[in-house]
Chains A and B, each alone.
Chain A
Amino acid sequence: MRIQSGLTAALAVLMLLLGANADAASEKLTVLNPLGQPPAIARIPMAPRLDTLDGKTIYLVDIGFTDTHQLFTEMQDLLKSRYPKTAFEVRKKAGVYYEDDPELWAEIKAKGDAMIIGVGH
C-alpha cells in the first residue's frame, strides 16, 4: 500500500511538471520591436520629360568605375546612328565614383537637355 501511494504521488508531480512545461511552450509572449527609426521620406518630383530628342543635347556620364568607359562610347555610337538630329556628349565624372563633380553638373545644366548616367561595376 505504502509503495503504491508513493508511486501515485510521484506520478502526480510528474504530471504537474509536464503540464507546466506545456503551458510555458504555448504561452503567448509580447516582445519589443528591434528596429531603429528610419527617417521620413521627402518626395521629390521628377523633372519633366522631353517631347522629342531632336535638336537636343544628351550627356552620357560615366561615373568612373574602373574599365567601364567602353559602355558609354558604344552607347554614344549606337544612339548617334539611331538619332542623327541629337547630340550625344560622353563625359567621365571627375574623382572616385562616389565623389561629387559640381563642375560637370554645372556644364550639363547649362548645355544639356537630359542625362544618362551609370554604371557601377
Chain B
Amino acid sequence: MGIPIVGVVTTAFSNLVISYSGKQGMPGERFAFVPHPITGVPAAKCRAYLEGQDPVTGKPVLDELVSSLTGKLTAEETATGFIERPIPRVVEVQDTEENLTQLFHNNGWTDGMPIVLPTEERVAAMLKGTSHAPDELVGKMQASAPHEAWSYTVEKVAVNAVMAGARPEHFPVILAIASTGAPALFTSTTSFARMAIINGPIRNQIGINSGIGALGPFSQANAVIGRAWTILSMNLCGGGRIGETYMGSQGNNFNYNNLTFGENEEQLPEGWKPLHVQKGYEPGDSVVSVFNGWGITHADQSFGKDFHPQIPRWLQFISPWSPAILLLDPSIIKQLKDSEGFASKEQLIDWIYSNTKVKAGDYWENYYSVQNFTRPSAEKGVEPYASWLKLPKDAEIPQFSRPERITVISVGGETNLFWQAGDFGYLSSASVDDWR
C-alpha cells in the first residue's frame, strides 16, 4: 500500500503470522500481540490488554504499535530479491531403517504411525502403477488459502504413497486425489475433516470396499489410499505443521483416513445415479470425489414408518451454514424407491431441501458461522441471504441454502437399515483413469 502498517494479532496466531509474512516476502513484518481470544471479550478487558504487555515480546502493546509505525527500517526489512528453497531429491542422511523412520517422524513427515521408508527401489515399484513420467507435474496444493501453494511431481506423490503402505495398483487413485489440490489437513481453527468417495470399475479392480464395513478398517485399499492423502498433504504443501499450517483447535480423528470408501453402486435401484454420473462422468469411468466437512453421526430411526419424513428432524444437528451428506445403506434406498416413491437421488434431495427449515431468527442469532461468514455477505447484498436478513424472526427459510448443498450416497452391506449423516460438502472430482 506504500504506507507503514502494523498487524495486531492474538497470541494463538503468533507463529502463523510470523511464518506466513516471511513466506510472502516480508520476514521482518511488524506485529504486536495481544492475548487470545478477543472474540466476545468485554471492552474493559480489551483495554487492559492494550495497556498491558505484549505476551510474546514483553513490550508494552501501545508502545509497540507506535514504534512499529515510526521505528527506522533495518536492512533486512528493506531487502529485495528472491530466496530460493531447493528441496533435495534424496534425504541427505543415510542411516538405518529404525533411525530414518524416527527422522521422518521427528521432521513431521508422518502421521505418527509406522511407515514404509521410500527407498529408490520401492518408489520405482510404485511408479509402475502409472503410465505417467516421474517428473510430470501433478498439481499444486495449499494448506489453505492464503497459504503458499507448493508443486509436486508424480515421483513425489509416489514417495508419499510408499510411506503410507500403498501398492502400485492403488497409485492411480492417489494421484487422482493429489491432482485435485485439496489437502486432507485443511487448516482452520475448526478442525476440518475430508472424505474421498470412489466410483466406477476401479473399486472392484483394487478391492475398494463399498459394502459391509466400508467405513471401517477392513480393506487395504480404503486404508492406505485414505492414509496416503493425509501423508502427502503434510509433505507436498508443507501442511500439518502445528501452530503454523495447522490450527485446528481439537483436531479431527477422521484425518487419519479421511473417510475413504467406495459408493455401493451395484445396489442402487434403477433411476438412482451413482455420484460420479451425477457429476457428469460416464458409468464406466473410475472417479474419486473429495468432500469437506467436520463429522458424521447416526440418528436413530423408527422402523416400520416411512424413512423420508424423519430426515428433517434428524438433520437439525447440522449448522444451517453447513452442507449435508447422507450415507444411506442400500436397503434404505430400496425402501425409499419401492415404498416411498422416490425415483432418484435428485427427487429425494429436492424433498429434503423443501422440507428442512430453520426460523430466520434462529438462523441469524444462534450460529457463529452464519454470523461470521454469511451475515457480511447478506449485508453486501448477496442473495438469497440479503432477502433472508429482512425476514421476520419466525419466518422459515431452507436449512440448506440450495439443493446442491445436499449429497446422498449409497454405502453399506444391507445388514441393517442403517444410515449416517454429516456436514460434508462436495469439493471436486478427478478421473482415476487419467492417472492409470
User: Measuring CB to CB, which residues of chain A are less than 8 angstroms from any residue of chain B?
Assistant: 24-53, 58, 64-68, 70-71, 73-75, 77-79, 82-83, 94-99, 105, 108-109, 112-121
Contact = CB atoms under 8 A, between A and B. Distances in A.
A53 B66 contact: yes
Given A36-B238, A43-B80, A114-B3, A53 B69 contact: yes
Contact of A32 (B34, B98, B118): B118
A113 B1 CA distance: 10
A34 B156 contact: yes
A51 B159 contact: no
Nearest to A74: B47
A113 B155 CA distance: 50
Given A49-B71, A95-B377, A121-B37, A36 B98 contact: no
Given A41-B82, A78-B51, A33 B9 contact: no
A43 B90 contact: no
Contacts of B12: 120-121
Interface string B155-177: 11001100100000000000000
A50 to B, nearest CB: 5
Given A31-B91, A45-B77, A58-B69, A37 B5 contact: no
A33 B90 contact: yes
Contacts of B311: none
A79 B89 CA distance: 53
A47 B82 contact: no
B3 A113 contact: yes
A108 B1 contact: yes
Nearest to B234: A34
A25 to B, nearest CB: 6
A48 B65 contact: no
B28 A66 contact: no
Contacts of B13: 120-121
Contacts of A24: 97
A31 B28 contact: no
B7 interface: yes
Contacts of A118: 7-9
Contacts of B70: 49-53
B51 to A, nearest CB: 7
Interface in B1-35: 1-10, 12-13, 22-26, 28-30, 34
Contacts of A115: 1, 3-6
A109 B77 CA distance: 21
A85 B401 CA distance: 50
27 contacts: A26-B96, A28-B95, A31-B91, A32-B119, A32-B120, A33-B87, A34-B160, A35-B236, A36-B235, A36-B238, A37-B87, A38-B23, A38-B148, A39-B151, A41-B25, A43-B80, A50-B70, A52-B70, A65-B39, A71-B41, A77-B47, A78-B50, A96-B372, A113-B4, A114-B5, A116-B7, A117-B6
A96 B377 contact: yes
Nearest to A56: B69
Given A29-B119, A64-B376, A121 B39 contact: yes
Contacts of A48: 4, 73
B84 to A, nearest CB: 5
Nearest to B370: A66
B317 interface: no
B3 A109 contact: yes
B46 A70 contact: yes
B85 A38 contact: yes
Contacts of B89: 32-33
Which residue, A43, A53, A108, has most C-beta atoms of chain B within 10 A? A43
Contacts of A34: 104, 109, 118, 156, 159-160, 163, 231-232, 235-236
Given A45-B79, A117-B7, A120-B38, A38 B43 contact: no
B164 to A, nearest CB: 10
Contacts of A65: 38-39, 372
Contacts of B280: none
Nearest to A77: B47
A32 B123 contact: yes
